[in-house]
Amino acid sequence: MEIQIENRRPPNASHVADVLSRELGFGRYFTDHMFTARWSQEKGWHNAKISAFEDLHLSPAAAVLHYGQALFEGQKAYRQVDDEIAMFRPRMNARRFNQSAQRLVMPTVPEELYLAALERLIDVERDWVPSGAMQSLYVRPFMIATEPLQGVRPANEYLFAIILSPVGAYYSQGFEPVKIFVSRELVRAAPGGTGAAKAAGNYAGSLLAGAQAQAAGCEQVLWLDAVERRYVEEIGAMNVVFVIDGELVTPPLGGSILPGVTRDTVLTVARDRGLTVREAPVALDDLLDAITTKRCTEAFGCGTAAVISAIRSFHVDDREVALTEAPGRIAEQMFRTITDIQWGRGEDPHRWRHMIPRRP
């Protein structure tokens, strides 16, 4: 499908330079343009275009506002050492977007349209990709049901859009281990639910536990399984990896866990290095025992936002189980290897970098 470019604004170099010189944070600034495409039962995908970043016009009856048919993705574009722009494994996000769509009975986006939209929009906005340490352009594709509601059923009209935001390093103090709050009471996702999809509602449902974590002086929530409250699932909006008896262990996919791109990357890099990787259930009690007996030497979250987030301690039932003060060796190595690929500093044996072509 042809992507139209409407009213392209010439880049305002001094405005872009001014914004990029500020503390970028996360989602504080957005670029000048966005991508949108519409879907309807009759026409399928149509009206794919790049136009000015502006507010959406939406019926107050739009199904998304009532029944929450909404999903999103989170990926990044990185300025390379040679000034070109690359994405990291964007097809994995395209596939996960479509898996989420299927779970929420929304239309899938042809992978080639998804990629073409990313490439065209990022190319138009390439000046917006920051060049500071650990800075990148956050890419947020999303889809919402726009049809005015007619009862609880899948809508017949959707909007697929992509917006871009220059972002800074995730942790202001660098690569600092974080405190984790074990949520016994609240759960993120149940078997048969939407946990393996990037459904917007999953994140609304996670906010209360996030607030409890903060109140306990912790940065992130550790989610347990919804049935037995016994097995570790994820950490905040990250997958979680443990180093136990020298092996990498992470909870298996296939249920309520989001299949992370970074998770797959970490496991692949670990296997490349000859480390033993096990995708196996991790019971909280066994984990705490392995920490106290020093068999568990490292634990870290992994996700697009922070790449690797080492875990300092677990706050569980009002006690603190300390793991490490400084990031462990494997967390450090993973962080360095993956960020070197993302920013174009290191070898890319699996061809994970996806260069953004320049178009006139």
Per CB under 6 A, 94 contacts ligand PLP: no
Per CB under 6 A, 146 contacts ligand PLP: no
Of 100, 262, 313, 337, the one binding ligand PLP by CB under 6 A:
262
User: Among residues 135, 124, 125, 141, which one has the least CA distance to residue 168?
Assistant: 135
**73-to-108, 117, 162 alpha-carbon distances in Å:** 13, 14, 9
Which C-beta is closer to ligand PLP: that of 155 or that of 222?
Answer: 222
Per CB under 6 A, 344 contacts ligand PLP: no
| Six token digits for residue 231 | 């097995």
| 29-88 residues near ligand PLP, rule: CB under 6 A | 74
Please choose, out of 37-45, 61-69, 254-262, 334-342, the segment that lies near ligand PLP by the rule CB under 6 A: 254-262
Q: Which residue is nearest to ligand PLP (CB)?
A: 260
User: Among residues 334, 207, 321, which one has the least CA distance to residue 262?
Assistant: 334
CB 348 within 8 A of CB 268: no
Shortest Å, Cβ 167 to ligand PLP: 13
Shortest Å, Cβ 301 to ligand PLP: 8
DSSP one-letter string for 102-151: HHTT-----HHHHHHHHHHHHHHTGGGS--STT-EEEEEEEEEE-SBP-S
Q: What are phi and psi of 15, to 5 degrees?
A: -65, -45
Instruction: Tell me the pairing of strands 178-183 and 307-316.
Output: parallel
Shortest Å, Cβ 310 to ligand PLP: 16
Please choose, out of 124-132, 253-261, 319-327, 341-349, the segment that lies near ligand PLP by the rule CB under 6 A: 253-261
CA distance 173 to 302: 18
Shortest Å, Cβ 260 to ligand PLP: 3
H-state helical runs in the chain: 13-20, 63-67, 90-103, 111-124, 200-204, 207-215, 261-272, 284-292, 329-342
Shortest Å, Cβ 198 to ligand PLP: 6
Shortest Å, Cβ 203 to ligand PLP: 7
User: Among residues 191, 356, 331, 360, which one has the least CA distance to residue 270?
Assistant: 331
Of 260, 327, 328, 344, the one binding ligand PLP by CB under 6 A:
260
The shares of helix, strand and coil residues in the chain, as percent rounded to the nearest 5, are: 25, 30, 45
Per CB under 6 A, 141 contacts ligand PLP: no
Of 200, 261, 270, 331, the one binding ligand PLP by CB under 6 A:
261
Which C-beta is closer to ligand PLP: that of 16 or that of 257?
Answer: 257
| 181-240 residues near ligand PLP, rule: CB under 6 A | 234, 237-239
Contacts of 228 (CB under 8 A, 6+ apart): none
Residues that contact ligand PLP, how many (by CB under 6 A): 12
Please choose, out of 1-9, 54-62, 255-263, 336-344, the segment that lies near ligand PLP by the rule CB under 6 A: 255-263
Per CB under 6 A, 251 contacts ligand PLP: no
Per CB under 6 A, 177 contacts ligand PLP: no
Per CB under 6 A, 255 contacts ligand PLP: no
Shortest Å, Cβ 192 to ligand PLP: 17
Which C-beta is closer to ligand PLP: that of 157 or that of 234?
Answer: 234
DSSP one-letter string for 239-257: EEEEEETTEEEE--SSSSS
Strand partners, 57: none
Which C-beta is closer to ligand PLP: that of 166 or that of 260?
Answer: 260
Please choose, out of 22-30, 44-52, 261-269, 324-332, the segment that lies near ligand PLP by the rule CB under 6 A: 261-269
CA distance 312 to 171: 14
CA distance 132 to 76: 14
Residues interacting with ligand PLP, by CB under 6 A? 74, 234, 237-239, 258, 260-263, 303-304
